[in-house]
Amino acid sequence: MPTGKPPMTQFADGKVIHSSARRWYDALTLLLLMWPATGGMWLLGSTRTWAFAPGLVLAFCGIALAASRPLWFADTPAWRWPAGWWIFAALTTYVVALAPSAMVPYAARWEALKWLCLLGALWSWTQLANQPRRWRVLVFILLLSVALICLYAIVQRVGGSRQVLWAPRPEQYGLRASGTYLCPNHLANVLATLFPLAILLLFCADAGFPLRLMGLYFLGVATPVLYWTQSRSAWAGLLVGCITSLLLLAWRKSRALFALALVALPLLAAGGGWVAWRTLPLVQERVQPVLERGLEAGGGRLDMWRDSLVMIRERSITGFSGGSFVWAYPPYQKHVKYHLLWDYLHNEYLQLQVEYGAIGSGLLVAGLLWGGIGLLVAFLRAQSAGTRVLLAAAAGAVAGNMVHALFDFNFHIFPNPHVLAWLIGVAWGAWFLEEGWRKKARPQARGWRMAVAGGAVLVCLCAAWRATAAGLSYYWNLRGDIARSSLNWDAAAADYARASRWDARNWQPHAGLGMLRQIQAFWYRDPDEAAEKAGREELATEAAVHLRRAAELNPGDMAVVYTLGLVHNLLDDPEGALAEFRRAAAYQHKHIFYREQLGVQLRRMGRDTEALAVFRQNVADGKATDISTVNIRLLERKLAKPPAP
């Protein structure tokens, strides 16, 4: 009979505390895990280091708390893993192992930390959702947080503003809705991920009235925003995701209903698309180019995909390493027209193959297959309507994201895959609870679990520290860049030194300090000619040391190579300067500035015939500016004259 005493729970060492402490512990863990997919979205989509670095630290702390639960609570349920998790763990291990020897270790480390964080978050959501009725609260919070961003997007649209919080959205996006993201496609991906869940909740009595009402509210605010994003990839992902979820539910009802849905749903989707085409002007505006030009309507995407095939053939097994695409791609640019540094390939599968090779792609395919089969088996075995809805919505979200990933880089946007991990983890946690897996770990396995928990906590804390150190290195480097642009050279040098101390593998402080010393050497003046020459050489020599170190840490940064060429000129080494300019012009051959500076250097060295050939080639390639055309006229006149006696 009731005693009136508060419920109790037991610590792993035998001590007994009130269960309220357990609830507070889980609440703190959940708040930390939620940050990437909630607060992270409000930091302009966390596409910059200053935004995703704190998110990594907070998420790793949350994962550490989730892993350490057996150390504090003896009645912690036995651990369970979503289907395919171990294959993705192997893929993450491969990504982490490649980072130290990567082309750009600093960039590769960020990618490794993101992979590790996402893997840990998926596992943590699965464990923490393994509580009665908790999944309703977690899903409610997820839908509410994205709905608030949709409200902000509506305010932007009504006000006709391109301003995103404190930053203006790029002009190329016009008034396309983006909420707190700078790119509309990134918000559209999140909305398409959650649409199947919100639709299914409307018809799920187990969800309860508040959650069903939230699903309806989400659909009400997200539908116009998704339309205003004008993201064709998200629209396609939405259709595939919804059809996948509904087909699964139809299969559970009856085979006849499944056969009917298999025919009816694509027809309904086609009919809805036709109605949208006839009635919605933004759909016509975005779809018409696709109907007329096919994949070429995607702009530079198709050109980059063609270029990437050569990269894949060259390093088909191991790839170029994580985070290296932006730096490894310039020499392979053949079809793209512009010299921009393309950060992403706009196709997640091709980029994974480029960066991690056949090993990474093979593990990804195996993980998707195993995870998909496991999700299907779990769905067929699910007993409650709520669990079936969660699993069907998770399957639809995965299917929609796989379609979107064909044309975009949604998995590289820090909050977006965490939304997917949140949904999948909660679905698996609810299923494990329903299947009776919420049982205590076997006493004979307690020691093993304590050791694994301790190791996992250590890994998370190390990862959080690495993210903190790399983030602070980024911060001080940014401070140095600002000080250098303000001509506050002493402060810039001090900030760059701090950045290097925080992360020795970050090439940017060395590049910034090298550029700073090169500028100082160029402008160095002294009344004593000998002292001036000595001072200039000292500064130029220091610049060369830092620039060479930057080139070692990132051999793909041609701004470093070009500046090193300027330093050689300051040291009266024109041949060394010419070699660096050749390297920059050859590596980033679409960049007309480097090509023209190569011609200028040849002209200064008196090698007029070679310089003229360089400038003429610029014109032939359609890359020339006035620098090339003026130099061609001057050099042609000079070479036409007979040599002076």
Between 8-12, 264-268, 355-359, 526-530, the lowest mean confidence (pLDDT) is in 8-12
- How many structural domains comprise the chain? 2
Instruction: Judge whether 329 lies within some domain.
Output: yes
Between 68-82, 140-154, 283-297, the lowest mean confidence (pLDDT) is in 283-297
Residue 280 DSSP label? -
Same domain for 500 and 396: no
Distance CA 553, CA 406 (A): 31
Same domain for 505 and 386: no
Same domain for 517 and 414: no
Instruction: Judge whether 19 lies within some domain.
Output: no
Instruction: Judge whether 583 lies within some domain.
Output: yes
Burial of residue 499 (number of CB atoms within 10 Å: 0-12, 13-18, 19+):
buried
Instruction: Judge whether 234 lies within some domain.
Output: yes
Residue-level pLDDT at 4:
42
pLDDT, average across residues 32-37: 96
Mean pLDDT of the chain: 90
Instruction: Judge whether 217 lies within some domain.
Output: yes
Same domain for 286 and 242: yes
Instruction: Judge whether 568 lies within some domain.
Output: yes
The length of the chain is: 645
Which residue in 509, 104, 559 sits closest to 323, CA to CA? 104
Instruction: Judge whether 538 lies within some domain.
Output: yes
Q: Determine contact, residues 103/556, Cβ cutoff 8 Å.
A: yes
Same domain for 272 and 376: yes
Same domain for 427 and 549: no
Q: pLDDT tens-digit profile of 136-148?
A: 999 999 999 999 9
Confidence of residue 440 (pLDDT cuts 50, 70, 90): low
Same domain for 304 and 257: yes
Confidence of residue 2 (pLDDT cuts 50, 70, 90): very low
Last residue of a domain, one of 392, 424, 441: 441
Q: pLDDT tens-digit profile of 269-294?
A: 889 888 888 888 888 888 887 777 76
Q: What is the pTM of this model?
A: 0.91
Same domain for 423 and 481: no
Q: pLDDT tens-digit profile of 186-197?
A: 999 999 999 999
Look at residue 638 and tell me whether its pLDDT is greater than 90: no
> Residue 532: which CATH number?
1.25.40.10
Same domain for 280 and 134: yes
Share of the chain above pLDDT 70, in %: 94
Dihedral (CA of 521, 524, 529, 531) sign: negative
Same domain for 280 and 336: yes
Which residue range is the domain that position 492 belongs to? 469-640
Same domain for 402 and 282: yes
Same domain for 94 and 153: yes
Q: pLDDT tens-digit profile of 321-337?
A: 999 999 999 999 988 87
Instruction: Judge whether 459 lies within some domain.
Output: no
